[in-house]
Amino acid sequence: MARVTVESLRKEYDTGSVVAVDGLDLEIEDGEFVTVVGPSGCGKTTTLRMLSGLEQSTSGRIRIGEEDVTDVHAKNRDIAMVFQNYALYPHKTVFENMEFGLRMSTDLSETERERRVVETAEMMGIEDLLEDKPDELSGGQKQRVALGRAIVREPDLFLFDEPLSNLDAKLRTSMRAEIQRLQRELGITAVYVTHDQHEAMTMGDRIVILDGGELQQQGKPTEVYENPVNEFVGGFIGSPSMNFVDVAVESDGDRLRLAGPDGGFEFDLSAAYVGRHEDALDSSRYTLGIRPENVSITDKGAANSITATIDVVEPVGSDNFLHLDLSDEFIARVDSDVDFDPGDRVTLTFDEADVHLFDSETGRNVL
Ligand code: ATP
11, 17, 18, best to mutate for ligand 1 pocket (most atoms within 8 Å of CB): 18
Can you tell me the distance from the alpha carbon of 144 to that of 129, in angstroms, rounded to the nearest whole number?
Answer: 11
Q: Is 212 in the pocket of ligand 1 (CB under 6 A)?
A: no
Query: Measuring from atom 18 of ligand 1, which residue has the nearest CA?
Result: 41
Q: Is 294 in the pocket of ligand 1 (CB under 6 A)?
A: no
Count of CA atoms in the C-beta half-sphere (13 A) of 114: 4
Q: How far is the CA of 44 from the centre of ligand 1 (A)?
A: 8
Q: Is 41 in the pocket of ligand 1 (CB under 6 A)?
A: yes
C-alpha distances (whole Å) from 266 to each of 94, 240, 282, 311 are 64, 24, 20, 21
Can you tell me the distance from the alpha carbon of 12 to that of 25, in angstroms, rounded to the nearest whole number?
Answer: 16
Q: CB count, 10 Å around CB of 212?
A: 15
Q: Which of 340, 338, 349, 273 is closest to 311 using CA atoms?
A: 340
Q: Is 17 in the pocket of ligand 1 (CB under 6 A)?
A: no
Can you tell me the distance from the alpha carbon of 258 to that of 53, in angstroms, rounded to the nearest whole number?
Answer: 50
User: CB–CB of 185/175 below 8 Å?
Assistant: no
Q: How far is the CA of 82 from the centre of ligand 1 (A)?
A: 18
Can you tell me the distance from the alpha carbon of 171 to that of 77, in angstroms, rounded to the nearest whole number?
Answer: 31
Q: What DSSP string describes 61-74?
A: EEEETTEE-TTS-G
**Strand residues in 65-123 grouped as ranges (E):** 67-68, 79-83
Query: Measuring from atom 25 of ligand 1, which residue has the nearest CA?
Result: 13
Please list the pLDDT of the chain residue by residue as tens digits (367 residues): 689 999 999 999 988 899 999 999 999 999 999 999 999 999 999 999 999 999 999 999 999 998 999 999 988 888 988 888 888 999 999 999 999 988 887 788 999 999 999 999 998 889 999 999 999 999 889 988 998 898 888 888 999 999 888 888 888 888 899 889 888 888 889 999 999 999 999 999 999 999 999 999 999 999 999 999 999 999 999 999 999 999 988 877 777 788 887 777 788 888 777 776 666 666 668 999 999 999 999 988 888 888 899 999 999 988 999 999 887 889 999 988 888 999 999 999 999 899 999 999 999 998 7
Q: How far is the CA of 281 from the centre of ligand 1 (A)?
A: 37
The whole-number pLDDT of residue 255 equals 77
CB neighbours of 72 closer than 8 A, spacing ≥ 6? 53
Q: Is 44 in the pocket of ligand 1 (CB under 6 A)?
A: yes
Query: Measuring from atom 26 of ligand 1, which residue has the nearest CA?
Result: 13
Q: Which of 178, 185, 115, 187 is closest to 152 using CA atoms?
A: 115
Residue type present at position 79: I
Cross-sheet strand order for the sheet of 67-68? 18-28, 4-13, 59-64, 67-68
Q: What DSSP string describes 185-233?
A: HHT-EEEEEES-HHHHHHH-SEEEEEETTEEEEEE-HHHHHHS-SBHHH
**Strand residues in the chain grouped as ranges (E):** 4-13, 18-28, 33-37, 59-64, 67-68, 79-83, 157-161, 189-194, 206-211, 214-219, 243-252, 255-259, 266-269, 286-290, 296-297, 306-315, 319-324, 330-335, 345-349, 356-359
What's the residue count for the chain?
A: 367
Sign of the torsion angle spanned by Cα atoms 220, 225, 229, 234? positive
Q: Is 18 in the pocket of ligand 1 (CB under 6 A)?
A: yes
Q: Is 183 in the pocket of ligand 1 (CB under 6 A)?
A: no
Instruction: Considering only the C-alpha atoms of the chain, give the largest distance between any 2 of them, rounded to a whole number of Å.
Output: 80
Q: How far is the CA of 138 from the centre of ligand 1 (A)?
A: 29
Q: Is 15 in the pocket of ligand 1 (CB under 6 A)?
A: no
Residue-range domains of the chain with CATH: 4-229 (3.40.50.300), 243-359 (2.40.50.140)
Q: Ligand 1 atom closest to Cα of 195?
A: 2
37, 44, 193, 196, best to mutate for ligand 1 pocket (most atoms within 8 Å of CB): 44
